[in-house]
Chains A and B, each alone.
Chain A
Amino acid sequence: MTHPSVEQVWEWLGTLPDPEIPVITLIDLGIIRGVTWEGDTLVVTVTPTYSGCPATSMINMDIEALLREKGIENLELRRQLSPAWTTDWMTDEARAKLEEYGIAPPQPAGGPSRCPRCGGTHLEKLSQFGSTPCKAQWRCQDCLEPFEYFKCI
């Protein structure tokens, strides 16, 4: 029997949303690092965002459920730690989608460049930690709304 191609598998995986920020996909996030066939086994390599992120096990479950549904029988999910995940791997599309969703995308400067709601640039950090390990809490002093910022890592 012939295997679905690697490209086909990437296409399927591209439909999987991040469980905590469903507006972006797992591929947008840059955490799926490889798809290969090793003999009859499909190996999908996934890297965690933060080492204790509770979404990691959910993500693995979503990947497995999807690929089983697509008829993949021999599947191995491999965890890859190195090189460690970085927000640099996030696609430009993902950054745009995050901002539209109300989460300021990561910036090399270490803080958001503008308020995702009003575009204001007078911003203050409320806390380096937010509702998920990957986010911080900020506030816009122009529109006074709090917002989340996806931290650089």
Chain B
Amino acid sequence: MATKKKTDWSKDVFKVLKNADVKQVAYVPDAGHTSLIKMAIADNAIKPVSLTSEQEGVAVLSGAWLGGEAGALLMQSSGVGNVINMLGMANECRFPLLMLVTMRGEWGEFNPWQVPMGQATEAVLEAAGVIVHRVDEPSEIAETVEAAARLAFEGGRMVAVLIGQRVVGFKDWTK
């Protein structure tokens, strides 16, 4: 039941976001996004926005596009339930939207409260009109985000990359 070998996929994903000219990175923290968030904060050309709830992220990135900038929303699968209504706006206006979602409630989950939303994540996103790319192989994360970014920003669509819990790893509260 081991997680996949840890590789530093965050650096490659960050490069992809920079190449896609992402200027606003909105996030509700998750352990799996720790490195990406740090890199976004450290980059002078990126405006990091920490949110009280993921629904704010869909709204701020809609505004980013309206103002001529690209953005990305980083969140955990438990936050996906918070964005569904706001996705109606992005859908009606056909705003490009790139979401990177780290999964909980699946591979080796220890917290039963995470399981319902984690198991429903893919289905509810698709029901809301989001194109979902799931990735469980660390070496494929960056290229998946690259494809998702193109589909979002060039193809003008809402796209979510679900990064499997097997890749992200378990949460160990003792460390």
Same complex origin of A and B: no
Q: Name A residues whose Cβ lies closer than 8 Å to a Cβ of B.
A: none
Q: Name B residues whose Cβ lies closer than 8 Å to a Cβ of A.
A: none
